[in-house]
Chains A and B, each alone.
Chain A
Amino acid sequence: QSALTQPRSVSGSPGQSVTISCTGTSSDVGGYNYVSWYQQHPGKAPKVMIYDVTERPSGVPDRFSGSKSGNTASLTISGLQAEDEADYYCCSWAGNSLIFGGGTKVTVL
Chain B
Amino acid sequence: EVQLVESGGGLVQPGESVRLSCAASGFAFSSYRMHWVRQAPGKGLVWVSLIHADGSTNHADSVRGRFTISRDNAKNTVYLQMNSLRGEDTAVYYCARDAYGLSYWGQGTLVTVSS
Contacts and interface: CB of A to CB of B under 8 A. Distances in A.
Interface of A: 1, 3, 36, 38, 40, 45-48, 50-52, 55, 57, 87, 89, 91, 96-103
Given A1-B61, A103-B45, A98 B101 contact: no
Which of A1, A3, A98 is the most central at the interface, judged by chain B CB atoms within 10 Å of its CB? Answer: A98
A80 B94 CA distance: 28
B71 interface: no
A45 B106 contact: yes
B contacts with A: majority SS: strand
Nearest to B103: A48
Contacts of B107: 45
B58 to A, nearest CB: 5
A36 B101 contact: yes
A51 B44 contact: no
Interface residues of B, number: 19
27 contacts: A3-B46, A36-B101, A36-B102, A40-B45, A45-B94, A45-B105, A46-B102, A48-B100, A48-B101, A48-B102, A48-B103, A51-B100, A52-B101, A55-B100, A57-B101, A57-B103, A87-B44, A89-B45, A91-B101, A91-B102, A97-B47, A98-B47, A100-B44, A100-B45, A100-B46, A101-B44, A103-B45
A83 to B, nearest CB: 19
